[in-house]
Amino acid sequence: MTLVLTSLSLCGQSLRSLKTSSKPLVLKAQGSFYVGGIADNQTFEQLGSFGPAGRISVNQMYVHYMVPKKTKGLPVVMIHGMTLTGKTWETTPDGRMGWEEYFVRKGYPVYVPDQVGRGRSGFNQAIFNDAKAGKTEANKLPPMWRFSDEASIPNFRIGTTEGKPNPDGKFPFDALNELSKQAVPDVSMGLPNPNPTYKALADLSAELGKTILMSHSQSGAYPIEAAYIKPDAVAAMIFVEPGRCPNGLKPEQLSVLSKIPTLIVFGDYLTQPTGVPHSWQTAYESCQKYTEEVKAAGGKAKMLYLPNSGIKGNSHMLMQDTNNQQIADLIIKWIQTI
């Protein structure tokens, strides 16, 4: 496998590449907090053999938020995908405004979590320290997933399996290194089942009254799981490039999902080889079928396949593509119809 990007520098993004809007951002409030979490009593070894045994918090979910001075719509919760964190929605790899700030500037309070088990949410480290101490077998450790650039270029549909950019692709390919840096180890396989993020999202929405849950990739179906827990707290769902959509929904599931307007957004190059055991065309088809099932049950579900709207060249990371504001505007237009 040959990569064209090996000569690029990893020395650090020039801060001069950060673009600043000419209009100030006026916030009513901003900050962060945690949702969920349980107490776990751990041994001296499980805590890394530094301080005394005792109680720590695990499975909590970090949330960063910004509320505009003038609110024009419901809060939007933006949930990132596999091996990533809430950084997905912040400044783009090439220094442009991300969707977090863009939606705030359009009047929406925005809440950006790190999934439980990643980033500032942390993860339960006990089993790793137990393995170090010989208290558990190393082959029982959950995997820590990372995508190599060789995986993410084709799988995120930024380029080909040969590492070349897609002709007319909208992802800022020269800033690929900055996307690489956004990745952290993903210990999802070490989480309790069901994933505590589902309930944390439901609780967050309920605390805020009602929210619009926007997911991406791995988190595609998380809004559905949150809606099953607290149906009245989810005003709408937006799946951005979901990894898959559930099909063959049961009547009790459809009775929840048909009451929640849903938008599904896909970019370009769906049939391109991904280099990993995943097909975006299959994902797209499962989501097309999802919209049909929900609509047959009387619900409102829309597929926004961008090439059908004449918008070509978008990658899987379309919130970071060069036309990210154009896509955000289409989503906001849909939100205004619900």
38 interacts with its own copies by CB under 8 A: yes
State how beta strands 211-217 and 110-114 pair.
Answer: unpaired
280 interacts with its own copies by CB under 8 A: no
190 interacts with its own copies by CB under 8 A: no
Is residue 1 within 8 Å of 153, Cβ to Cβ? Answer: no
**Helical segments of 43-82, H only:** none
Minimum CB distance to its own copies smaller for 118 or for 262: 118
Minimum CB distance to its own copies smaller for 21 or for 337: 21
74 interacts with its own copies by CB under 8 A: no
CB under 8 A: which stretch of 53-61, 219-227, 258-266, 292-300 binds its own copies?
Answer: 53-61
Name the 3-class secondary structure at 212. Answer: strand
Backbone angles phi, psi at 126, to 5 degrees: -55, -45
- Residue whose entry in the numeric block shows the structure tokens 């029982």: 140
CB of 237 to its own copies, least distance (A): 21
Closest C-alpha to 246, from 214, 303, 293, 212: 293
Judged by CB under 8 A, the residue of 73, 164, 180, 300 near its own copies is: 180
Judged by CB under 8 A, the residue of 185, 192, 194, 298 near its own copies is: 185
| Cα–Cα distance for residue pair 54/308, rounded to 1 Å | 56
Identify residues 206-265 at the interface with its own copies (CB under 8 A). 207-208
CB of 105 to its own copies, least distance (A): 11
Judged by CB under 8 A, the residue of 47, 304, 330, 338 near its own copies is: 47
CB under 8 A: which stretch of 184-192, 251-259, 280-288, 296-304 binds its own copies?
Answer: 184-192
State how beta strands 54-68 and 110-114 pair.
Answer: antiparallel
Minimum CB distance to its own copies smaller for 82 or for 303: 82
Judged by CB under 8 A, the residue of 78, 79, 110, 183 near its own copies is: 183
Closest C-alpha to 196, from 42, 62, 74, 66: 62
CB of 276 to its own copies, least distance (A): 4
CA distances to 68, 157, 220, 274 from 239, in Å: 24, 17, 5, 20
Question: Which amino acid is located at 250 in the chain?
Answer: K
Identify residues 79-98 at the interface with its own copies (CB under 8 A). 85-87, 90-91, 95, 97-98
CB of 243 to its own copies, least distance (A): 13
115 interacts with its own copies by CB under 8 A: no
| Cα–Cα distance for residue pair 134/183, rounded to 1 Å | 29
Closest C-alpha to 110, from 74, 75, 68, 62: 75
Judged by CB under 8 A, the residue of 102, 103, 128, 173 near its own copies is: 128
